[in-house]
Structure 1
């Protein structure tokens, strides 16, 4: 995969530090873990970029214990150059949704700033990660809604829609949209106090308010909104209201947080969001998640880096953290913490002794 030809890793159950020069393959290793959990990279949608030149496919394999039962089982993900994705768990083929439920992954890197500065679709993905892992019925509602939305938009692009046909599709859209929105709203409501608690430790002098926007005026019935917006939707060729327009709003003293906060403050807000998401997942499921944290020291100053690591240490999560120099990060953990250091050098991985060993 990329610049990792053949690599084997025996990670610690808690903290794994991957260090080496830039371009040595550290991020590629995180990509491999992400591929194992979701069947895709967090850096690119072009899967062919992941496969080394001259190779027809890539394979990532691991022994996993997703439900903390002390029973490790084999999980393998193969991606072919032609695009075929094959996933095998405990000897059986599984789909993408089942794979995602086995490996709850959270990524923290420079792209995480998109939670504040990026498009609403990034924030919907953030919310939907939580909804998916919090309620087993979420994925059925999500898929059903997007299936109906795609059909409604296809009809809108045709320019003419029979009134009875439109009424049927609008009714089905609302039937999926309402419970999907309720699950999203409930997740954000549960996340807010956890986020506020963690942010209060990382950024004591700033208060950030989170507000969920469902994608239409919540005081009005969606069926009525669809009816009133139909002519505009018909001219535009797509549905302008509904869960596909949902968003998560961040405000500081009544202003957009992306405009109000400094770069350093934004780092702490998005870090608190990701930490809160992992903490809430553990409270709701009694399961740990896996953090993939790319170049942590560049994202936080030393004091906040220490605080961030303390939050990770208090959690039950398994973490893979990349850095160029492991100096600070190798010293911030308690002696009892299960810690492993790995040097990554031009695509090869070797384990290093932890401090004090």
Structure 2
């Protein structure tokens, strides 16, 4: 299953560097700015074709160089895997993925989840963070929904164009009807998947809360907001807010505005937990959904957590490490040099350490 050997050439800080990655757990330690997150970024580019730091991957080219070339060898489904990505200042990113020499689609590879600093705002940050995370899960479990979502987004774009440019009422009505029809179908699928998501999260976290370290998470719950008034049909809601949408120049109601909220004992989690407790909850949410993915689609899993030790005391760090190490997949963690994570991890598992 695992990624095994990563090669970086002219990527971010790295002129020429090779890294061996454990098939189990790898710990990357270094000072701030030493390139820990860049290693995770390179793996994300190789697997997904995208950077989580920038829209333009050419920004990853090392200063004063004209291109980068990154590659990784590993195994997948008991076959040899080779990933390669290149980007120059004058061309787009080119990525190839081959399994025993034959091309393989990125959708058929690992389920990769990276926990970054932005995800620490999953519960208190803007809804877009939660929607992006929710969609990554939903589309992996139900890839056929990508087509429905794409059709809805196209109709939404056309309605927004009508609103912004003040086009004819007939054209606005046409696209409003399309948004309402497709939006209702998409919202039903979102809600159905949310019920699956909710069930796994509640079961996993309520079980974890029986441990003394996580007792503050007793009676966790999560509620769904579909993106418009619960009492109205989407078609009616779109009509009722037409003046507001015209003034804004975009559509303010619909499944593109879906959201979810976590609570503990009927109180909003983001307002009642400390920063460290919120991080524990977020990590447990990620872990619960890894288990869901494994059960539903039998995907091979890679978990990467950037700066795991931040905002966690030694007790909570040890407790969450124990939970992370239970997942059936490859684990890559980063931490700041001198933190307690090395000592905590050493007591629990064998691992490969990369020092930067």
Please name the residue that 1:328 is paired with: 343
For residue 221 of structure 1, what is the aligned residue in structure 2?
233
Q: Which runs of 5+ in 2 are unaligned?
A: 1-10
Is 1:38 the counterpart of 2:48? The answer is yes
Is the contact between residue 212 and residue 248 of structure 1 (CA under 8 Å) also seen in structure 2?
yes
Aligned with residue 216 of structure 2, among 200, 205, 216? 205
Instruction: Tell me, in whole angstroms, the C-alpha distance in 1 between the residues paired with 2:196 and 2:166.
Output: 42
Is the CA contact 1:141–1:176 (under 8 Å) kept in the aligned structure 2? yes
Deviations 1:88-109, CA, capped at 9 Å, x for gaps: 1226778xxx425524221223
Partner of 1:10: 20
Contact 1:59 1:78 (C-alpha < 8 Å) held by counterparts: yes
TM-score, scaled relative to structure 1: 0.86
Cα distance, 1:289–1:127 mapped onto 2, change above 3 Å: same
Distance in 2 (alpha carbons) for counterparts of 1:281 and 1:251: 23
SS at match of 1:205: helix
1:65, CA displacement in angstroms?
4.1
Aligned residues: 335
> Which is bigger in relative contact order (C-alpha 8 A, separation at least 6)?
1
* Cα separation, partners in 2 of 1:176 and 1:76, compared to 1, 3 Å: farther
> Which of 82, 85, 88 matches 2:93?
85
Deviations 1:125-177 (A, max 9, x none): 011011110102121122221111111100111223232x3333223223332
Sort the Cα spacing of 1:329 and 1:4 in 2 relative to 1 into closer, same or farther, 3 A: farther
Instruction: Give CA deviations for 1:96-124 in whole Å, capped at 9, x if unaligned.
Output: xx425524221223322210121111110
Q: Comparing both structures, which one devotes a greater share of its residues to strand?
A: 2
RMSD: 2.3
Residue 60 of structure 1 deviates from its aligned partner by 2.1
Q: Is the 8 A contact 1:110 1:299 kept in 2?
A: no
Structure 1: segments with no counterpart, 5+ residues = 345-357
Q: Matched residues in 1 for 2:154 and 2:91: separation?
A: 23
Measured at CA, do residues 231 and 101 of structure 1 come closer, stay the same or move farther in structure 2, by a change above 3 Å? farther
SS of corresponding position for 1:171: helix
Which of 191, 196, 199 is equivalent to 1:185? 191
